[in-house]
Amino acid sequence: MRAVVVFESIWGNTEQLAREVAAGIGGERTEVVDAASAPVALDSDIDLLVVGGPTHAFSMSTAATREAARQQGAEHIPTRGIREWMEALASPGRAVPVATFDTRVVSPRLPGSAAKKAMKRLVALGFRPVAEPETFGVHGYSGPVADGELERARRWGTELVGILPSG
């Protein structure tokens, strides 16, 4: 079982959740990689790809929304988000199973999901969805992650493995 979890995170909330998802997936060959440094051609032996990012302006972040985050005091602005990583990502040679998640503010609950947009792009590239796009809640723009969400992320990771043909 070889899984890769690619994340984007400005304040660290999505990264924390990505690490929980990876822990839930388990296995020694599960990697967590920042979209800024993730390879644009995935290794051919990957059994599961998970992509997670923050919802910005009802969708995936852009250079402009990341700049808005910087103006709101964020110190860590990634040079590339999941949107740009997927724009560069090569089609997989086979229908690699994929799942996506995003983070969104708990209150007010806004429409729009980065995970849904990411899934559309990944399906267009030839990946095969194994779960509905998932959302995890954060308090405000900078977090922290809402109560119970880290545990739920870990369980979700474990569930994904169960859905895979070999799981």
Ligand X SMILES: Cc1cc2nc3c(=O)[nH]c(=O)nc-3n(C[C@H](O)[C@H](O)[C@H](O)COP(=O)(O)O)c2cc1C
Pick the closer one to ligand X by CB: 133 or 143.
143
Chain residues 5-44 in contact with ligand X, contact rule CB under 6 A: 9-14
Q: Could you give the CA distance from residue 119 to residue 117 in angstroms, rounded to a whole number?
A: 5
Pick the closer one to ligand X by CB: 32 or 46.
32
Smallest gap from Cβ 3 to ligand X, in A, equals 20
Kindly list the distances between the CA atom of residue 140 and the CA atoms of 72, 105, 107, 113, 122, in Å, as whole numbers in the listed order.
Answer: 12, 6, 7, 16, 28
Range in contact with ligand X (rule: CB under 6 A) among 19-27, 100-108, 124-132, 157-165: 100-108
Smallest gap from Cβ 115 to ligand X, in A, equals 11
100 makes contact with ligand X (CB under 6 A): no
- Could you say which of 27, 29, 41, 57 contacts ligand X (CB under 6 A)? 57
Per CB under 6 A, residues contacting ligand X are 9-14, 54-58, 65, 68-69, 103-105, 110, 112, 138, 141, 143
